[in-house]
Structure 1
Amino acid sequence: MRIVSSLILAAGLLSGAACAAPVPADKQSYVGNWQGKDMQLALAKDGKVKYKRDQPGKKLDLSLELQGFNGDHFDVGWGIVRSTFIVSKPPHREGKQWTMTVDGVELTRGE
C-alpha cells in the first residue's frame, strides 16, 4: 500500500508541476497564431503552446505548456522537461503586420 500511495503522491506532484503559466500582462503581444518558413507557433493567453516545425529529416508537432518568460525568451515544456524559444526580435508592428523572430525564423501573426 505504501508503494501505491507513493505513486499517487508522485503523480499528483508531477501533474501540479505541469500546469501552464498564463501569459503575463506585459507579454500579451506574444499571444496569437504565428507563421513563418516551415514553422508555426500558437501561444494562447492561458499558456498553452502549439508548435510545428518541418525541417529536412525532422518534423515536430507538439502541444506544450508555457513555463515562463526570461526577458524576451520563453520556456515551454512539461514538468522538469523544458525547452527555450530564443526570441531575437520580440513582437512588433511592421506596417499592418505583427512580426517577431524566434529561433532564427521570422514569424508573422495572423489576424
Structure 2
Amino acid sequence: MKRLLMLLVLGLLVACTKPVPTDHRDYIGLWEGPGMRLDIQPDGDSRYEREREGRSTRISGPAHDFTTSGFKIGIGPLSARFKVSRAPAQVEGQWTMTVDGVALVRVRAYAEPGGGVRL
C-alpha cells in the first residue's frame, strides 16, 4: 500500500512539472547563499534547502507561478511562495539574485532545451 501511494505521488509530481517559462529562464541553475540552496532545473523540477536558527527546511517539487515578485515550489497546499526582491542579473560576470532576503549566487548553469547553456 505504501509503495502504491509513493508511486501515485511520484506520478503526480512528474505530471505537474512544466518547463520554466521562457521569460523566467534566468532563474534556472543551482543558487547558493548563506544558509540557503536553491536548485531550479530547466524542466521546472526544483529543490530548496534552508538552514536558520537551528532548523532546516527542505522543499522539492515543480517551480511554478513565476511573477515579477516571486515564484512557488511544490504542489497545491504543499507549495511554498518565494519572494524575489532582486531578480536574476549578471553582475561583473556572476549571476546573482535575492530570494526571501538572502543574496544568492548561481554556482551551476544547466543546459537548456536545444543544447544551449545559460551562463
- TM-score normalised according to structure 1 size: 0.79
2:104 is aligned, of 98, 101, 107, to 107
Matched, 1:89 2:89: no
The 3 A distance-change label for structure 1 pair 58 and 96 is: same
The 3 A distance-change label for structure 1 pair 76 and 24 is: same
Partner residue, 1:3: none
Aligned-residue offset at 1:24: 0.6
Partner residue, 1:44: 41
Q: Does 14-23 or 47-56 show the bigger shift? A: 14-23
The 3 A distance-change label for structure 1 pair 15 and 87 is: same
Partner residue, 1:20: 17
Write the distance in 2 (CA, Å) between the matches of 1:15 and 1:43: 18
Greater strand content: 1
Task: Give the aligned CA root-mean-square deviation in angstroms.
Answer: 2.3
**Aligned pairs, how many?**
100
Partner residue, 1:8: none
Aligned-residue offset at 1:80: 3.5
Aligned residues: percent identity? 37
Matched, 1:33 2:34: no
Unmatched tracts of structure 2, length 5 or more: 1-7, 109-119
Write the distance in 2 (CA, Å) between the matches of 1:104 and 1:61: 17
Partner residue, 1:7: none
Unmatched tracts of structure 1, length 5 or more: 1-10
- TM-score normalised according to structure 2 size: 0.74
Alignment-mate amino acid for residue 106 of structure 2: R
Deviations 1:24-58 (CA, angstroms, capped at 9, x unpaired): 11111100000000000000011111111111231
